[in-house]
Amino acid sequence: MFRVKICGITSSQDAAVAAEAGADAIGLNFFPKSPRYVTPEQAAEIARDLPSGVLRVGVFVNAATPEVLRTIQCAGLDAVQIHGDEPPSVLRELAAVPTIRAFRCSLEQVPNCLRYLDECHTIGRMPDAVLIDALQIGQYGGTGHRADHGILEKIRKKYLKTHLVLAGGLNPDNVEEAIRSEVPDGVDTASGVEASPGVKSPQKVAAFVANARNAFRHADLRR
């Protein structure tokens, strides 16, 4: 899937910054209420000149499946991230595309996440990755709040082979510690590398990617 994703990209310039810094993926947000919202047409323009090795991930919140499929086609997406209250059946409807299931989750709500994944297993369509974001009622990511410690470990105990991505409040200053303590398979940031909502800081993006990759290298050596 990916190790380092820069989410909430709103311009070709910021997409180029992420790619040049060495990010594996960018996130394009199709939730109209987000300050990082882009249209499918804007997303296509942003992604057009990206290197082929950089994954283009579309972020959706409670969007109808036909809308998601149209956006995949229009924007040339490589994967989708469902970040709302979508039921497991939506993953089966999106079986043709790699899908990341995001959970806005506190430590106390991990059993709910596991029940969701159990149902995915039952219907024969597990997410290709699980992303854990901080829980903020009424908000769907990009809040700058950290996810609770220990969530990934609890999910990993039951679903060992699931690609686990840590998000929520990550920035250049804390991403190394987060990788060391949580040992995710990937990390994701949006507001943590911004100069203002929807506008990335090239310096912060470069530092975030470098620090994350350094932490992953050390983690790999310990495995």
Q: What is the mean pLDDT of the chain?
A: 93
pLDDT at residue 144 greater than cutoff 70: no
The yes-or-no answer on residue 74 being catalytic is: no
> How far is residue 103's CA from residue 120's CA, in Å, rounded to a whole number?
14
> How far is residue 165's CA from residue 187's CA, in Å, rounded to a whole number?
5
Q: What pLDDT, on the 0 to 100 scale, is given for residue 133?
A: 92
Q: Distances in Å between the alpha carbon of 219 and those of 130, 163, 186, 212?
A: 20, 15, 12, 10
The yes-or-no answer on residue 133 being catalytic is: yes
> How far is residue 184's CA from residue 102's CA, in Å, rounded to a whole number?
14
Among candidate residues 7, 105, 113, 120, the one labeled active-site is 7
Q: Which one-letter amino acid corresponds to residue 10?
A: T
Q: What confidence category does residue 172 fall into, taking pLDDT thresholds of 50, 70 and 90? A: very high
pTM score: 0.93
Alpha helix segments (H runs only) across 124-168: 151-158
> How far is residue 215's CA from residue 180's CA, in Å, rounded to a whole number?
7
Among candidate residues 14, 78, 133, 148, the one labeled active-site is 133
Q: What confidence category does residue 141 fall into, taking pLDDT thresholds of 50, 70 and 90? A: very low
Q: Provide the 8-state DSSP code for 5.
A: E
Looking at residue 15, which CATH number applies to its domain?
3.20.20.70
- As a whole number of Å, the CA-based R_g of the chain is 16
The answer to whether 54 and 26 are in contact (CB under 8 A) is yes
Percent of the chain beyond pLDDT 90?
Answer: 86
Which structural domain, as residue segments, surrounds residue 96?
Answer: 4-222
pLDDT at residue 140 greater than cutoff 60: no
Alpha helix segments (H runs only) across the chain: 12-21, 40-47, 65-75, 89-93, 110-123, 151-158, 175-182, 202-222
The answer to whether 132 and 116 are in contact (CB under 8 A) is no
Q: What pLDDT, on the 0 to 100 scale, is given for residue 138?
A: 47
Task: Count structural domains, the chain.
Answer: 1
43-65 mean pLDDT: 95
The answer to whether 110 and 135 are in contact (CB under 8 A) is no
Antiparallel, parallel or unpaired: β 164-166 and 129-133: parallel
The encoded tokens of residue 53 equal: 């090795």
- What is the tens place of the pLDDT at every residue in 74-125? 999 999 999 999 999 999 999 999 999 999 988 999 999 999 999 999 999 9
Q: What confidence category does residue 21 fall into, taking pLDDT thresholds of 50, 70 and 90? A: very high
Antiparallel, parallel or unpaired: β 129-133 and 79-82: unpaired
More confident residue, 58 or 143: 58
More confident residue, 223 or 193: 193
Q: What pLDDT, on the 0 to 100 scale, is given for residue 214?
A: 96
Closest CA to 136 of 120, 121, 151, 147: 147
Helix or strand holding residue 131 (H, E): strand 129-133
pLDDT at residue 188 greater than cutoff 70: yes
